[in-house]
Structure 1
């Protein structure tokens, strides 16, 4: 807390050089004395406030990539693999209180110190008036950016820890011991504070970036409003809206930290926020992505795949609401892509070792836009049987190749998101067959650099990635989509269902996402092909449909991890075994045997929230620990 004349160390990221977006790495160390003497110094401190943003594309820092059940890796981790063990320890149920993993409260075990980030944001807001040569318009805009960052850091902590302290202003060095020992605040109070900050910021922020050469990555009004929608949907969801598990979490001053009764009005607020954000996005031309390169000679099927893959990977495309510029996808591409070109079989790069699980492969729809166990035209019971691809599967599966029936007649998002033994991987420099059985080009070759399940997350790899001589010689990096329009559309559908049930309002944006994905509308799919066509006619049934739609559309983007928690579905889903194929086998009849990889553990209600570090509770006895820790 003693910060007078203290040198504030700027957190530095490893950042690949690029000239077309915000570089948030300051070029020296700012001090409180000189940080606001002029515009240039103040801008460095602005970048310091940005520098705490968690790197969502980084498998080391984002628990939502390797900490759940979407992506898996072999175990134990080898030193040459460049894989982190920390997120996977969370997935394996090994979180703890002595030194918590991905600790964003204190900032260790690969987590950033977000409370320090909040203090730096407060310093900026307190001292920005000292920069006498700063244009008033720009000062107002920067204040809006930092107000938003304050809101986002509070939100990030609240999503992990639930009720948290509100850091509205920094505590002076003259504060008493009791003033320093702050309390966690009730979840609804924290929410109101976050929303008030975002509303204030939105009035100051531009609708869009004008100088795209230097300012991409700065916060805009659509970003602020979209994150506000995400916040309000989260707190309206079962985890924080009348969750009886948290009835007894009370401060030592008697303040209850969680509401006991579910409040339907929270969904109304969430829906209104989604609608406001959608209008703000569409007003500036943000829309669902379509691959527009007419010079590329590809089939309609491949063009649809480019629509879906490049909604994520095409840099600064028209669907992107908020793209994160530090950690722009290069590392995760190397981890996702196997060695496609058999002429360059080196284990060095790419590695292809973050692997979709079998259950995630099963969760995508059939070609009729239905869950595989719901489509009466699809053989669910025979999904693990062998089948050889004919002409009708051309462009999806290698002709004449034998693979699992599970891989046939699936929706376009399955083929654009997941590669499997027998799949085709379209890239700018060619169409590459994926063959992953023992001895084949994409099979296991050593102790690292292989898929433990037999699947690869194709969606995460930009189509311009080229490898020669075992090294990536061309890869187009992309800003990680913290928020894109399809996500916002599906949040709207979820909130609308909670307010109106099945209705035109609920189906509107849900169907827009589906049509772009190349599948029928919800009504068409369930009326014409479903075993239980009445499911979408009631709120509970449609809720399950919307949940699965989010999973298919946003697969591997880091949403399922948090969605399962806010829906209170994690205890159900994350206690299921992790399965893959028997990747050590040479022949299809042996390879396509479902193999248990790990029996996952999720202890409810404990694991829904992060633990506060044990030492932090000793230092500040006014903090109460989360349930079960």
Structure 2
């Protein structure tokens, strides 16, 4: 299997293989072992990699709740051991989170969650001991210190996003700590946000702007990463979930300390906007820019060039848009989960699963070709979107000539065709353009009890265009670092923060339109003025907020953003309390197939489901830990 040579993939693999060694199992009172871990540069570097090893693998559908615990994707049920799908995220999506044994528990490191508090302990150990390394160059020590300070801040952020107010672990407790000292308390959420942002600033000052040795250092934290993630942190702090949310009025420590301030502050949005602009300026200095496909590599149509602009902004390894890439797990994991059996003539076809299935709700989220929502475009027939329509040569590169499919699939924006494949679509790859036909009995239909799309949609966006199916249950692929942060994400955060801080303005439109231009769309102003039945929508703050939210939902679709965005916007209780639909995939004819089929009635209980529960056992052994609302 072909793999790119990327630093951190090898590093983390080494860590996984090495995790039984003593230096990875250090406890605070094991002084001799700690001292051995920092006796020379090589040993200290191993401990640095240990600090990295706790990073959640967000391209792994087993570990990342944002992939299968929301409404972007749906899967068949029940999930068995043969299906190569995890059940925990889908249990969350189905409203079956547990208080006694929380699913994807990153607090304790259980039920497919990593032990983030253990990660914080190891980060503190590194920071307490790195000065002892005798042969470590001072400049290298400074950079490594910055990396671990960032990781420490990021791990706090990861917990905060899941659990809300959390204890701050700035220093490890000594072995002489009293019982009461061990019983830590949750800190007010504003204090946690300030701590995280401050530590990221401290880290950024030590970090390089760019990687100097790309052959060995890709995957290390840089200054643009630190400042860009700080912008994301402060945007969450300013968002409705934690900015003036009265739902958390009763969330207090035993001493009466309120953990969430219920008073709204527009100053938080201004602070977030400033942080976003700082990050954008730094990214520009580092040469980071929106991805554009090098069309000199191959002779393709303008439509396909635009599709490759969109797809390769995610899938081209280390492309110019990537701010932070996580280098483990984008190969036989998420690509196989996304790609269907495209090549029926080869036995390797059976290795492909194609079971990461987007819902009809997501298909409807994308704009029309005119750059406005399908329910707003006065030239697009929204009421007949489920009717049948036959493609012609005019739909070339997107739809199969003469093939009958749903009207929902016609005259949509380029991101719709770049991100999704469906019955009647075309899947462009480097070696060939493949027709997708998914009705029962056709090439990409269900063949067995697992390994199929329950909705009839496939996630083209997450499959690198160099994926090649071979004989003998094999394939070649180009892995890519998972985009934990890319520039389009940052642009949209900036536009959002500016609109919330000051209302509609030219800079808001500017950064929205930069993303839209790369997606092949006209400006927000021109699209709404010309095509929308609500032409003035972008001119007021509330209307522009809706536009920004939908633009973000489209641009960041299937990358793990929607799950968290719906929560921070306090929109999850409305969006995730509606039915999930797919096409009727068991049907052989278009009339039967293109009937939306109810797959599940989602239920989201507010405010309970906005935050993870702290495992009940923890609140029993530590009475100072108050439980989240509703649990």
Looking at structure 2, the residues matched to 167 and 16 of structure 1 have their Cα atoms a distance apart, in angstroms, of 41
SS at match of 2:428: strand
Looking at structure 2, the residues matched to 58 and 595 of structure 1 have their Cα atoms a distance apart, in angstroms, of 28
> Which residue of the partner structure matches residue 92 of structure 1?
94
2:292 corresponds to 1:290: yes
- Check whether the contact 2:370–2:521 (CA below 8 A) recurs between aligned residues: yes
> Which residue of the partner structure matches residue 504 of structure 2?
502
- Check whether the contact 1:353–1:450 (CA below 8 A) recurs between aligned residues: yes
- Residues 296 and 17 (structure 1), Cα distance of their counterparts in 2 relative to 1, 3 Å cut: closer
The one-character-per-residue Cα deviations of 1:484-542 (angstroms, maximum 9, x if unpaired) are 00000000000010112111011111100000000111001000000010111100000
- Check whether the contact 2:336–2:351 (CA below 8 A) recurs between aligned residues: yes
> Which residue of the partner structure matches residue 492 of structure 2?
490
> Which residue of the partner structure matches residue 584 of structure 1?
586
The one-character-per-residue Cα deviations of 1:409-464 (angstroms, maximum 9, x if unpaired) are 00000000000100000001100000000110000111111110000010000000
Looking at structure 2, the residues matched to 50 and 136 of structure 1 have their Cα atoms a distance apart, in angstroms, of 21
- Check whether the contact 1:311–1:319 (CA below 8 A) recurs between aligned residues: yes
> Which residue of the partner structure matches residue 21 of structure 1?
7
Looking at structure 1, the residues matched to 3 and 518 of structure 2 have their Cα atoms a distance apart, in angstroms, of 34
> Which residue of the partner structure matches residue 60 of structure 2?
58
With normalisation by structure 2, the TM-score equals: 0.96
- Check whether the contact 1:443–1:450 (CA below 8 A) recurs between aligned residues: yes
SS at match of 1:198: helix
Provide the alpha-carbon RMSD of the alignment: 1.2
- Check whether the contact 2:584–2:596 (CA below 8 A) recurs between aligned residues: yes
> Which residue of the partner structure matches residue 525 of structure 2?
523
Aligned residues: 615
> Which residue of the partner structure matches residue 188 of structure 1?
190
2:324 corresponds to 1:338: no
Q: 1:34 aligns with which of 20, 33, 36?
A: 36
Structure 2 unaligned spans of 5+ = 24-32
SS at match of 1:456: strand
Q: 1:391 aligns with which of 390, 393, 409?
A: 393
The one-character-per-residue Cα deviations of 1:328-380 (angstroms, maximum 9, x if unpaired) are 34310000000001213667411001100001000000000000000000000
> Which residue of the partner structure matches residue 9 of structure 1?
none
- Residues 178 and 259 (structure 1), Cα distance of their counterparts in 2 relative to 1, 3 Å cut: same
Looking at structure 2, the residues matched to 346 and 279 of structure 1 have their Cα atoms a distance apart, in angstroms, of 46
Greater helix share, 1 or 2? 2
**Pairs within 5 Å for 1:470-619:** 471-619=473-621
> Which residue of the partner structure matches residue 323 of structure 2?
321
- Check whether the contact 1:427–1:463 (CA below 8 A) recurs between aligned residues: yes
> Which residue of the partner structure matches residue 423 of structure 2?
421
Looking at structure 1, the residues matched to 457 and 255 of structure 2 have their Cα atoms a distance apart, in angstroms, of 52
> Which residue of the partner structure matches residue 107 of structure 1?
109
- Check whether the contact 1:580–1:596 (CA below 8 A) recurs between aligned residues: yes
Looking at structure 2, the residues matched to 551 and 254 of structure 1 have their Cα atoms a distance apart, in angstroms, of 38
**Pairs within 5 Å for 1:106-145:** 106-145=108-147
- Check whether the contact 2:3–2:479 (CA below 8 A) recurs between aligned residues: no
Looking at structure 1, the residues matched to 529 and 325 of structure 2 have their Cα atoms a distance apart, in angstroms, of 38
Looking at structure 2, the residues matched to 68 and 172 of structure 1 have their Cα atoms a distance apart, in angstroms, of 40
The one-character-per-residue Cα deviations of 1:10-54 (angstroms, maximum 9, x if unpaired) are xxxxx9975332323347421423110001000000000000000
Looking at structure 2, the residues matched to 73 and 470 of structure 1 have their Cα atoms a distance apart, in angstroms, of 27
Distance apart, 1:132 and its partner CA: 0.8
SS at match of 2:216: coil
The one-character-per-residue Cα deviations of 1:560-606 (angstroms, maximum 9, x if unpaired) are 00000000000101111000000000000110011000111111110
> Which residue of the partner structure matches residue 29 of structure 2?
none
Looking at structure 2, the residues matched to 347 and 137 of structure 1 have their Cα atoms a distance apart, in angstroms, of 50
The one-character-per-residue Cα deviations of 1:387-414 (angstroms, maximum 9, x if unpaired) are 0001211111000000000000000000
- Check whether the contact 1:305–1:415 (CA below 8 A) recurs between aligned residues: yes
